[in-house]
Structures are given as C-alpha cells and as structure tokens.
C-alpha cells in the first residue's frame, strides 16, 4: 500500500535504476568521445537516458492486444463509420485510415487527420441519438469513470452509467468492442476498477455477447475464450464483443 501512495510523487524503482545506470552512461560517453570523428559532444548537450537498456522492449500488453483485436474486426466488418469513445488516439488515428472515425474524449487534442473527427464529450452523457451507431469501441475506459482521475465527476455509479450510454447509442445489429480489467472485483482508487466478467455482462444485459477474448495475468492472449475460465485473475484484460439485439 505504501508503495502505491508514494509512487505518484517519488518513483523509487525509477530512481534506483537511474542511479545504477549512471556509471555505465559516463563510461559510454568517454568511449564515444574517443571514437568520434569530427562529431563533438558538448557538455551542455548531454541528455542522459538511463532506463532503456532492457532485454526486451517495454510494452503494455493489454493495449497491444486490444488494439489489434479491434482493428482486425473493424477491417473485416467494413462498417460505414466507426465511433470510438476514449480509447486512444493512436487507435482512432489508424482506424480513420480504413473507415471514417469519430473519437470522443473528455480531454480532446487538436489535430487534423483526414477521416478522423474529434469531439469533446462525456461518456455518461453522449451526444449521439439512440440506436444510431453501427460500430463502437471503448477500450480500457469505463473502469475509470467516476473516480475523478481524468477530471470526470466523482460517481460510484459512473461505470454503470457509461455502459448504459454505450448500449443506448448502439444500432440494432451494431457491434460494440469493449475492454476492461477483469479479475477479483475491487476499486483501486483513483486509478481504476477491476470487474468480475459477469458484472460486465450484467451491465450490458440488453446486448448479446458474441465473442470473448482475454489477456491473462501472464500477459498471454487467448482468442475466443470462455469468460467463466478467467474469473480468478488479478489484473487481466477482458475483451467483450457485443451485438445489439433487434427488438421485435
């Protein structure tokens, strides 16, 4: 607990690694200066990077897999347009190159990309008509709603409200691509919430679960899995593909 409370202002692990890697940086500097051929290294331009000599490239496996998961399926479905709610700008940017994409974010950025429309909005009160969106994605977003982390309103019922809005705007026969942390259900204030998979299914009881995939605690990806086999995770990533049932 103490580690999580201190880390936002003092990242001890980051500091220790930096101190450990400073001597190799100095050694590399002097070796490089001896090797230089007319390319001086002014002292005022030194810019130590002390955390990148790792055996593998750091990657967030949740984000890596979930973005591929959505991109592949949108490419296959070929919807007329796609709506993304708060997932990530790189995902919406890539999607905009294969389908007209609207990206809704509480904290919009100012960019101009052909095929991409950026709208400031609140996931608990979307400005789209009911039953209007053919293809919607919302990745690693709803678990944050109501915790105030991103300037949103504090609301213990925030996630449920967000899910209700996603279901509302989805068109009959439309597809919703949703990801959330799954495992032992809890609130890690104010970072995120973690959900039992059944809780998410309950939040979307008006939609039909078409497929479920998962990234487990060992960062392994399982395509088309059974969510009932992944209820005992600590911090996995559940990928839920929902479809809206047509009303008779």
Q: What is the pLDDT of residues 186-226, one digit of tens each?
A: 999 999 999 999 999 999 999 999 999 999 999 999 999 99
Write out the H or E segment, with its range, that includes residue 5: helix 2-6
Report the pLDDT value the prediction gives residue 11, as an integer from 0 to 100.
80
CB burial readout 149-179, b (16+ within 10 A) else e: eeebeeeeebbbbbbebbbbbbbeebbbbbb
Q: What is the average pLDDT value for the chain, to the nearest integer?
A: 94
Architecture of domain 61-244: 3-Layer(aba) Sandwich (3.40)
2 band by pLDDT with thresholds 50, 70 and 90:
low
Residues 82-91, mean pLDDT to the nearest whole number: 97
With cut-offs at 50, 70 and 90, classify the pLDDT of residue 38: low
Give residue 12's pLDDT band: very low, low, confident or very high (50, 70, 90).
confident
Residue 189 token pair = 């204030």
Percent with pLDDT over 90 in the chain: 87
pTM check: above 0.85:
yes
Quick check: 142 and 123 in contact, CB under 8 A? yes
Per-residue confidence (pLDDT) for residue 1, from 0 to 100: 63
Domain boundaries, the chain: 2-45, 61-244
pLDDT category at 130 given cuts 50, 70, 90 is very high
Residue 7 neighbours by CB distance under 10 Å: 12
pLDDT of the residue at 98: 97
pLDDT confidence bin for 39, thresholds 50/70/90: confident
- Residue 34, pLDDT above cutoff 90: no
% of the chain at pLDDT higher than 70: 96
The predicted model gives 89-109 an average pLDDT of 97
pLDDT of residue 167: 98
pLDDT score recorded for residue 36: 66
CA distance 180 to 202: 14
């Amino acid at each position: 607990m103490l580690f999580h409370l201190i880390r936002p202002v003092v990242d001890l692990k980051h500091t220790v690694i930096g101190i450990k890697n400073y001597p190799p940086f100095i050694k590399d500097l002097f070796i490089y200066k001896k090797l230089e051929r007319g390319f001086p290294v002014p002292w005022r331009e030194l810019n130590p990077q002390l955390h990148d000599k790792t055996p593998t490239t750091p990657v967030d496996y949740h984000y890596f897999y979930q973005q591929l998961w959505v991109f592949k399926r949108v490419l296959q479905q070929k919807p007329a347009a796609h709506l993304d709610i708060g997932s990530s700008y790189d995902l919406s940017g890539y999607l905009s190159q294969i389908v007209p994409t609207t990206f809704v974010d509480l904290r919009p950025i100012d960019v101009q990309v052909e095929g991409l429309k950026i709208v400031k909005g609140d996931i608990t009160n979307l400005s789209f008509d009911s039953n209007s969106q053919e293809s919607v994605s919302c990745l690693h977003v709803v678990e944050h709603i109501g915790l105030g982390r991103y300037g949103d309103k504090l609301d213990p019922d925030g996630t449920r409200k967000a899910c209700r809005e996603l279901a509302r705007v989805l068109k009959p026969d439309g597809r919703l691509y949703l990801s959330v942390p799954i495992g032992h259900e809890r609130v890690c204030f104010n970072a995120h919430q973690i959900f039992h998979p059944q809780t998410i299914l309950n939040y979307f009881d008006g939609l039909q679960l078409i497929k479920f995939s998962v990234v487990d605690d060992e960062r392994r990806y399982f395509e088309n899995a059974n969510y009932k086999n992944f209820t005992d995770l600590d911090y996995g990533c559940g990928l839920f593909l929902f479809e809206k049932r047509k009303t008779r």
